[in-house]
Amino acid sequence: MGLPLPCSLTPTKVTAFKDCAYAFRLSIIDKIPQPLSIWTVKGVLAHRALERFYFSLPATERTPLQARAIVQDELASSRKTGYSATFLEELPEAAQVRLGQEVEQLVLNIFTLEDPTTTNVLGTEIMFESSLGDVLARGVIDRLDRDANGDLIVVDYKTGRPPSHTHEQDKLAGVLFYALLVERVLGVRPKSVKLMYLRDRMVIEAEASPHRLHAVEGKTAAIWSAVRMACETGNFRPRPSRLCHFCAYQCQCPSFTAPNVQRQPTDPRVPKV
């Protein structure tokens, strides 16, 4: 008997399967939750703050002062309720203060990347879904803008480090996936996509050309075919790599638990969670 297919594909699921099919199975098929990390919480808080900053404020009121106030309000709310409340409650007070400062800096860095008072934001955290062949493709877009010429721009925030030039196209594939969904749902192809790396104040922008969107559609179909095959056979092979250092499933992974397998050294930069 095979394993159940996921109900949809998202950019996150596509990346997860490409990175390691075994971790994909544990997370997406078996639905084994991963523990929260300080990086996850930081990213969620920054995204929530930017959503409110651009959606709830008139353009003329998008100031650093307002951004700081929104970050502190989001942090206070997250301590009281939500999936991260317990995690934050167990953080030492000094670590909570540092977390708030780091999230605040991430959000304030947006002012070095663009002028929020002149940015024409059509929507934030918008869900798009469309059938691509026999798979339902879904995605939540951080921001959809319209430029001075009336063209659409898909924006995705990133709170981690920017990719090397070698891996830049891999990162763009996710936001081009969103552009493809926008075209399918709205009938209008976005002019470009933007990855905004808040920590390093870097923007990676690419044209959402028909050729690129067609390539994304083809790669998505190939990934879905591989997922179907893996579910039918139950063969989700682990793919050891440097990403293993950050994986919460090491204790369940045959690459780490099988007899006579040499374990990869623990990365000293990664604290235990």
Q: Are residues 244 and 158 in the same domain?
A: yes
* Last residue within a domain, chosen from 113, 138, 164: 113
Residue 190: per-residue pLDDT: 98
Task: Count structural domains, the chain.
Answer: 2
Tokens 């930069």: give the residue: 269
What is the C-alpha to C-alpha distance for residues 198 and 109, in angstroms, rounded to an integer? Answer: 6
Are 74 and 175 contained in the same domain?
no
> Residue 250: its pLDDT value, please?
85
Average pLDDT over residues 260-265: 44
pLDDT tens figures, 87-102: 998 999 999 999 999 9
* Residue 29 and residue 8 share a domain: yes
Which pLDDT band, with edges at 50, 70 and 90, does 267 fall under? very low
One domain for residues 10 and 79:
no
Could you tell me which residues come within 8 angstroms of residue 253 by beta carbon, excluding any fewer than 6 positions away?
A: 22, 23, 238, 244, 247
108 in the same domain as 164: no
Quote the pLDDT of residue 271: 35
Same domain for 172 and 231? yes
Q: What is the pTM of this model?
A: 0.89
68 and 103 in a single domain? The answer is yes
CB 163 within 8 Å of CB 170: yes
* Enclosing domain of residue 193: 1-33+121-255+264-273
* The last residue of a domain, from among 52, 86, 113: 113
* pLDDT tens per residue across span 17-50: 999 999 999 999 999 988 888 999 999 999 999 9
Let me know: does 157 contact 144? Beta carbons within 8 Å. no
Tell me: do 228 and 157 sit in the same domain: yes
> For residue 196, what are its two tokens?
């905004």
Whether residue 169 has pLDDT greater than 90: no
